[in-house]
Amino acid sequence: MRPDILNYFFKAITSLKGVGPKVAQNITRLVGRHVEPAQIARYVDLLFHLPMGYKDRRNRPKVEQLEAEQYATLKLQIGKHIVPPRHNKRIPYRINCYDDTGEITLSFFRARGDYLKTTLPEGELRYIGGKIEEYNGNLQINHPDFIATEDEMKTLPVFEPIYPMTAGLAPKTLRKTIAQLVQELPKLPEWLDKPLIDREKWPTFNASISGLHLADKPEIIDGNSPHRQRIAFDEIFANQLVLALTRKHVVAVNGNAINGTAKLVNQLVDLLPYTLTNAQQDSFAEIKTDMAAVQRMVRLLQGDVGSGKTVVALMAMLTAVEAGYQAAIMAPTEILARQHGEFMQPLCARMGIEVEILTGRNKGKNRAEILQRLASGQIDILIGTHALFQADIVFDKLGLAIIDEQHRFGVHQRLALQNKGLKTDLLVMTATPIPRTLVLTNYGDMSVSKLTEKPAGRKPIKTVAMPLEKLGDILLAAARAIDTGQRIYWICPLVEESEILPLSNVEDRFAMLNNQHPGKVGLVHGRMAATEKDEVMQKFQTGEISILVATTVVEVGVNVPEATIMIIEHAERFGLSQLHQLRGRVGRSDAQSSCILLYGAPLGATASERLKIMRQTEDGFLISEKDLELRGGGDLLGAQQSGDIKMRLADVENQADLIEIAHKQARLIVETDPRLEKDKHKNLRTLLYLFDRDQAIKLLSAG
């Protein structure tokens, strides 16, 4: 049960004065990402909505001291009004103002002249605040933030935090509501370690959160203030505790001691046309040791694109089969499940091992028959998509489950697997490297193996960036390339013509290329039926077609080693990790590969930086660090897409040190006190509840 002291935090915001249904709805839209749909935000959601900046009215410079971009409050004499010609909405209404040191213009777009004439009468004095801008060498304020007479000025707060906002909600309403909330905060017990707090000189939770909301100076809101650090640490620590508890109660429980004989693995190694890299051998050795232990294996295999994760997965599965168990691998897409099948089935057939594929496409009798062979133990290795963990799927003796996927198999899913009573060894493979901070945040309960080395003989991929205007040259080069038998991926960002974004259309591009090279071009995109996609992929694999026009459906995992050219249209639209993934589709053999990034000019600063990094390096581990830097840890879209743990208060990119501390401390605590029963740890339960980590609390009860 949640401690009573927290009841206040979980009240619905409608209990606050001045918050009716309409305001509640708007606030929920703004802060309620953590609430069930159709519910209203709670006090805690609003409390965690922190100011992103402030208005500092203490800064009262004279005009001659002004610098562009600063926020300033000026005492100005109002001068001439310059009324724009009627019907021309693009010219602003301007008012010249001055003090005894210089001039500055106020400008208003779509202004009501009569209103401005009464609030800013020529010849009078007014206090005016806003962001200073420079336009054609002249100072100006566009739409001042406030205009006040001498008397009004006395009632305005000198320092005022500003919040991220949403349409329909007045900043003043939000500010007042939060202030109300903060006034009555119940005093919470300290859950952090005293030496840590003393060392870092952090305020208490209450002092930090109310300090931020009621801040009266910039130092509290700016950057990494002790207030911000303290509550970020609380959030990070709650997350690390969950992971440590998961590790203790879900991962490190007794599983099966799977001792392979190495017979099948040795056979496989003999059958492979290449020798394993050292990294592959090392990773496999770690996996094998984990599998042999009585404790359950929960391991993350991190590898750069093209580093050869699939064969490591197969070796692990064969180890399970050697010991008399079944193994399963779950791929993120149908295409990838089929591809794994094509690689594994022929090899396993030669060893007398039964491999089957099960996806959403297997229906009716066929599906029933597969399930029956699975339950009776006839199938040794099952390859599938998400369908693999459905309720009616029963294994005879599943020893190892592998998830070949990026991010989406979060700690919640791992907890859910546990609830199913599955005690199989678990190996999660990521499609691209992830920075250490994100590994700790999302996989802090797992052990990690890394494939940092690519197979020998791979040449660096020649990467160039050029504007889309060069398309003509590229088309000629592509024609020459397919004449010499090369295969090309041609990536476009969208499936259908969009009115909003003038991006290339994959269907148009397909039609155009197919016109030039009849019968040599294929098309795959996300809206096609799986069977159709397979057919085209198959043709590309066998070389029946030479150009594959595609959306990002080929992003993850697709392996056609003969393809050597990757062309990406509107590369500026793609994220860094995505570009790296796409480029990783080529350079999969010892032939020279190239990647052409076609961009729509002009390039924004971030996009330009992304393309630069792509040209400079192929190191996925480095690229992932840069990606996190560029998109920022708090990037919502990225986090949502990947299923990462969502942090509300912490900034994983800039607070990496806090993550390391929290990780260590959480593990230490759970090691010595796995159910948080000691007096000095009891308050940690309060912390877990406060951050909605109720699911992990269940792990604390005996049994």
One character per residue 42-71, x = contact with Mg ion (rule: CB under 5 A): ------------------------------
Cα–Cα distance list, 73 to 146, 282, 678 (Å): 9, 64, 54
- Which of Mg ion, ligand ADP, none sits in contact with 311, Cβ below 5 to 8 A by type? ligand ADP
Of the candidate residues 188, 300, 311, 550, the single one contacting ligand ADP (CB under 6 A): 311
Whole-angstrom Cα distance, residue 385 to residue 341? 12
One character per residue 561-580, x = contact with ligand ADP (rule: CB under 6 A): x-------------------
Element (H, E) at 466: strand 462-467
> Which pair of structure tokens corresponds to residue 578?
């995505």
Task: Determine the interface stretch with ligand ADP among 78-86, 254-262, 274-282, 571-579 (rule: CB under 6 A).
Answer: 274-282
Q: Least CB distance from residue 17 to Mg ion, whole Å?
A: 56
Cis peptide before 203 (omega within 30 of 0): no
Q: Is 92 in the site for Mg ion (CB under 5 A)?
A: no
Chain mean position to CA 362? 32
H runs (alpha helix) in 101-225: 113-119, 150-155, 171-183, 194-200, 205-213, 218-221
- Picking from 391, 407, 402, 587, the residue whose alpha carbon sits closest to that of residue 487 is 587
- Picking from 648, 645, 627, the residue whose alpha carbon sits closest to that of residue 696 is 645
Kindly tell me the burial class for residue 167, based on how many C-beta atoms sit within 10 Å of its own C-beta (0-12, 13-18, 19 or more). Answer: exposed
Q: Is 624 in the site for ligand ADP (CB under 6 A)?
A: no
Q: Is 303 in the site for ligand ADP (CB under 6 A)?
A: yes
Site for ligand ADP in 578-617 (CB under 6 A): 588
- Which of ligand ADP, Mg ion, none sits in contact with 308, Cβ below 5 to 8 A by type? ligand ADP
Give SS3 for 162: strand
Q: What is the DSSP string of 641-663?
A: HHTPPPPSS--TTTTHHHHHHHH
Of the candidate residues 255, 306, 341, 435, the single one contacting ligand ADP (CB under 6 A): 306
Task: Determine the interface stretch with ligand ADP among 60-68, 70-78, 205-213, 272-280 (rule: CB under 6 A).
Answer: 272-280
Of the candidate residues 49, 94, 296, 309, the single one contacting ligand ADP (CB under 6 A): 309
Site for ligand ADP in 31-90 (CB under 6 A): none
> Three-state SS across 310-368?
HHHHHHHHHHHHHCCCEEEEECCCHHHHHHHHHHHHHHHHHHCCCEEEECCCCCHHHHH
Q: Least CB distance from residue 298 to Mg ion, whole Å?
A: 20
Of the candidate residues 26, 239, 307, 486, the single one contacting ligand ADP (CB under 6 A): 307
Whole-angstrom Cα distance, residue 106 to residue 119? 13
One character per residue 433-472, x = contact with ligand ADP (rule: CB under 6 A): ----------------------x-----------------
Q: Is 225 in the site for ligand ADP (CB under 6 A)?
A: no
When the beta carbons of 321 and 560 are compared against ligand ADP, the nearer one is 560
Contact between 29 and 66 (Cβ < 8 Å): no
Q: Least CB distance from residue 308 to ligand ADP, whole Å?
A: 3
When the beta carbons of 178 and 305 are compared against ligand ADP, the nearer one is 305
Q: Is 587 in the site for Mg ion (CB under 5 A)?
A: no
Q: Is 276 in the site for ligand ADP (CB under 6 A)?
A: yes
Q: Is 541 in the site for ligand ADP (CB under 6 A)?
A: no
Task: Determine the interface stretch with ligand ADP among 269-277, 407-415, 479-487, 539-547 (rule: CB under 6 A).
Answer: 269-277
Beta bridge partners of 55: 160
One character per residue 531-560, x = contact with Mg ion (rule: CB under 5 A): --------------------------x---
Residues 6+ apart with CB under 8 A from 551: 491, 492, 493, 494, 495, 506, 524, 525, 526
Q: Is 430 in the site for ligand ADP (CB under 6 A)?
A: no
Task: Determine the interface stretch with ligand ADP among 34-42, 305-313, 520-528, 673-681 (rule: CB under 6 A).
Answer: 305-313
Q: Is 277 in the site for ligand ADP (CB under 6 A)?
A: yes
b/e for 74-108, b at 16 or more Cβ within 10 A?
A: bebebbebeebeeeeeeebbbbbbebeeebbbbbb
When the beta carbons of 311 and 337 are compared against ligand ADP, the nearer one is 311
Q: Is 554 in the site for ligand ADP (CB under 6 A)?
A: no
Whole-angstrom Cα distance, residue 234 to residue 689? 12
When the beta carbons of 556 and 687 are compared against ligand ADP, the nearer one is 556
Q: Is 332 in the site for ligand ADP (CB under 6 A)?
A: no
> Which pair of structure tokens corresponds to residue 232?
């970020």
Amino acid letter at 453?
A: E
> Which pair of structure tokens corresponds to residue 430?
């990521």
Q: Is 444 in the site for Mg ion (CB under 5 A)?
A: no
Size of the site for ligand ADP (CB under 6 A): 17
Contact between 113 and 76 (Cβ < 8 Å): no
> Which pair of structure tokens corresponds to residue 106?
């106020």
* Closest-approach residue to ligand ADP (CB): 308
Size of the site for Mg ion (CB under 5 A): 1
- What's the chain's Rg over C-alpha atoms? 30
- Which of Mg ion, ligand ADP, none sits in contact with 463, Cβ below 5 to 8 A by type? none
Q: Is 310 in the site for ligand ADP (CB under 6 A)?
A: yes
Of the candidate residues 51, 130, 144, 308, the single one contacting ligand ADP (CB under 6 A): 308
- Which residues of this protein are in contact with Mg ion, per CB under 5 A? 557
- Which residues of this protein are in contact with ligand ADP, per CB under 6 A? 274, 276-277, 280, 303, 305-311, 455, 557, 559, 561, 588
